[in-house]
Chain A
Amino acid sequence: MVLILIIIVCIVVVTLYVRESDQGPLHKTQDIFLDLVSPISSGFAKILRPIKDGFINLFHLPSLSRENAELRREVADLKRKQIGAKELEAEVADLKELLNWSEKNPEMKNVGADIIGQSPDNWQRLMIVNAGSSSGVKKYMSVVTREGFLVGRIISVGSRSSVVQLITDSRSAVGARDQRSRETGVVEGRNRSTIRFVPMTDEADMKVGDVIETSGLGGTCPPDIPIGTICEIEKREKGLTLLVEVEPFVEFSKLDKVLVIITPEPESVILKEAQ
């Protein structure tokens, strides 16, 4: 009897949650809880970070001497390669342009935020940041690193904290394009370290090493935000579908601060599109 009652309660909650809008009471409850637990999560993260770093260093201690020898060899190798570095100058200039994205886009306001938590389970790629509606953050706003690389987007907003869905999350889909060939498509997360670019056509002109950036199509994510580089292209025989693997620029495990791009009313853009 108790079991049936609990199952009925769960089904009712699931049904109400799925049917209500983002401003519904159950969604609001989640936002309130997020605000309640974020200080705890933030406090623990601050306390545990040095311990975690200590563990990582301890774990890597035996490999340090080997790494040192490898680095010495690499330095010698790099000195030889320095002669040919002139050719790379143009490429470096391009990359610098990407890195200075934030400075280049002064018209785009952003809010700095610390990462205070991560997904409590293995099935989502999420981060909790300490900026919420009181800082002007709204749902679907884009989140980038200080260097201007795309991290993800806001999917839940509390008053002082928000949840960021990373581009690697399996529910994430971002309008994107190849920076070189301008081929457009969608970048989809797969709960793995790499993401997949799905081009609009199977005949898309794409090469390994091409930079993938946001296209701005869809209206929620501003264009020209670098996402990653193509690391593998596979053409499936059946249907000739292109499978383009992209390695994100962001090292999510090392991320501690992000910027939320304050765009005007991204939710309304989505609603207008839906209508």
Chain B
Amino acid sequence: MSRKRQVFVAGALALAFLLQLAVMPQFKLLGVQPDLLLVVAVVVAIQDGPIQGAVAGFCGGMLQDLVSPLVMGMGALTKTVTAYLAGSLKGFFVTYSILLPVILVFLAGVADPVMHQVMLIILGQEKLPPFQVNVILASAIYDVLAVLVVYPLMGRFSFPGQGDSLALLRSGGE
């Protein structure tokens, strides 16, 4: 990942954090809101690789944990693992169409809250398993709607390095 891309991803995470904190709670659909930080982390994992996605997931999750009264580090851990798995799963797909982020973000949108709730139960921080399938599915669908905007936007700012022939090829460069 080039230096420019790193700065861009940091900016994207900061913006997603701001939107998640201040804007999204005002515009809930069916009582749910998308997890923009997860969406950005998964998009980074798809576009830049699973490790880069894991780092983005860690940073995004930690930002979210800092303003949440829940156990600090838990969101960072689940987002790290989810983004890494999403980035690793990319290898099983043979398409670079928008369908790829749609499927991976939907899977991540389901896996992340389930993992988070399970860990809270293990730590004794959750007294009953509040697995509301409708909420999990609705937020995952909302995440998919968000990725339809986020994925092409982040793809435009790939800033490929000199040796990154694959990235150059994907961005249409020669």
Contacts and interface: CB of A to CB of B under 8 A. Distances in A.
Nearest to B124: A18
Nearest to B19: A44
B70 interface: yes
Contacts of B26: 44-45, 48-49, 51-52, 118
Interface stretch (A9-17, A213-221, A240-248, A263-271): A9-17
Contacts of A52: 26-27
A105 interface: no
A223 B92 CA distance: 59
A49 B25 CA distance: 11
Given A52-B27, A120-B64, A10 B130 contact: no
Contacts, number: 129
Nearest to A27: B72
B51 A2 contact: yes
Interface centre among B54, B66, B81, by most chain A C-beta atoms within 10 angstroms, is: B66
Given A30-B67, A40-B18, A123-B117, A11 B73 contact: yes
A171 B22 contact: no
Contacts of A185: none
B156 to A, nearest CB: 26
Contacts of A119: 25, 68
Nearest to A165: B69
B76 interface: yes
A82 interface: no
A92 interface: no
A41 B21 CA distance: 7
A132 to B, nearest CB: 14
Given A6-B54, A45-B22, A117-B22, A13 B80 contact: no
Nearest to B142: A122
A115 B27 CA distance: 16
Contacts of B130: 123, 170, 190-191
A13 B76 contact: yes
A37 interface: yes
Contact of A155 (B64, B69, B74, B123): B69
B68 to A, nearest CB: 7
Interface of B: 18, 20-27, 31-33, 35, 50-51, 54-55, 58, 64-74, 76-77, 80-81, 84, 113, 116-117, 123, 125-128, 130, 132, 135, 139
22 contacts: A2-B54, A2-B55, A3-B50, A3-B80, A7-B80, A7-B81, A10-B74, A18-B71, A29-B72, A30-B67, A30-B68, A43-B22, A48-B26, A48-B27, A52-B26, A52-B27, A120-B67, A121-B64, A124-B68, A165-B69, A170-B128, A171-B125
